[in-house]
Amino acid sequence: MSALFEPLTLRSLTFPHRVWMAPMCQYSAAPEGPLAGVATDWHFTHYAARATGGTALVIQEATAVSPEGRISPYDLGIWNDTQVEALRRITGFVTEHGGIPGVQLAHAGRKASTERPWKGGAPVGPEAHGWQPSGPSPVAFAEGHPVPHELTADEIREVVGQFGAAARRALAAGFKAVEVHGAHGYLIGEFLSPHGNHRTDGYGGSFENRVRFALEVVDAVRAEWPEDLPVLFRISATDWLEEGGWTGDDTVRFAALLKEHGVDLLDVSTGGNAAGVRIPVAPGYQVPFATRVRAETGLPVAAVGLITDPAQAEKIVANGEADAVLLGRELLRDPYWARRAARELGAEIRTPGQYARA
């Protein structure tokens, strides 16, 4: 039997196999007005295609816990009930066709208020539906980016509360797994790394202080999320800086704390917190970071990053390098990747009756 297509259980939730969809922003919601952040027909079609394509866990793109937490003005949100109603259509379809609907809860921090990637991705101001971003310290992400507003202690507590409220709405929307976005240089990752966190209060300086915000967010989410359903956390395992950044050692240490705070699986990516760094991109280049976390902490992990071939994915799971694989761009290219992989590896997965004759 294929290891990639064996079920995996986290708490009471059993995933039919280990081919999962990584969160990938679509930048396709209205930027303002009563439909701001609300899922559209594009979102429904996008996620429905991956569900009928056989993907076991369909994680919805970074979904902002507040208007200011969006990466772009066109991101999805989960800060009001209108957004919840639109999401129920997506989660219902994914569930009906054998998938597990998941959602990534996010706050973009100092990397917020940017244009859509195909429009250049540069920071935008009020004239283009933008706003002033916020972060742990008044340090811009890169040249040409605005200096963010430094969050006060009271504002930090407010954001923690927004994550908790978002988890409550995610449950009402029908999601079965929730992922906290702590990667790629967005707000939580900014607090974790000394590269972007220059605070001198209880949220900066030492490792213990820099992880405080992340753990408070996890606790707020876990308090709202059912005990029998899993919480995932996405991490950038390294900033790829020679010094002054977040490291693989930090990730292992932090993963052990996340496990104590009720996180069930670590989604291991890298980078995004420092501009202009050299990243040794190659097939599976991030997998060793996931493998190390799994080996040293016992926390289940998912690997992501240039995993494109079924045999490659099978090897990662069969060798115990990760418990699941997350596909990003590959699922944009091929929504039916899971079906193709199952056929190549001699496995069987659920097929919609409408497609059975194929």
Calculate helix-pair angle for 81-96, 41-52, nearest 10 degrees. 20
Calculate helix-pair angle for 212-224, 153-173, nearest 10 degrees. 30
Contacts with 57 (C-beta within 8 Å, 6 or more apart), sequence order? 15, 20, 21, 99, 100, 102, 177, 324
* Contact call for residues 79 and 166 (beta carbons, < 8 A): yes
Q: How far from the centroid of its chain's Cα atoms is residue 98's Cα?
A: 21
- DSSP code for 237: S
| 267 strand-pairing partners | 234, 302
Query: What six digits make up the tokens of 116?
Result: 């859509």
- With residue 341 as reference, give the H or E element that holds it: helix 337-345
Neighbours of 173 (CB within 10 A): 25
Phi, psi for residue 92 in degrees, rounded to 5: -65, -45
Q: How far from the centroid of its chain's Cα atoms is residue 192's Cα?
A: 16
186 counts as catalytic? yes
**Environment class of 248 (CB within 10 Å of its CB; exposed 0-12, middle 13-18, buried 19+):** middle
Q: How far from the centroid of its chain's Cα atoms is residue 237's Cα?
A: 13
3-state secondary structure of 192: helix
Residue 290 CB-half CA count within 13 A: 28
Q: How far apart are CA 97 and CA 253, in angstroms?
A: 38
| 104 strand-pairing partners | 62, 179
Pick the catalytic residue: 186, 203, 336, 355?
Answer: 186
Q: How far apart are CA 163 and CA 211, in angstroms?
A: 16
Q: Which residues are catalytic?
A: 186
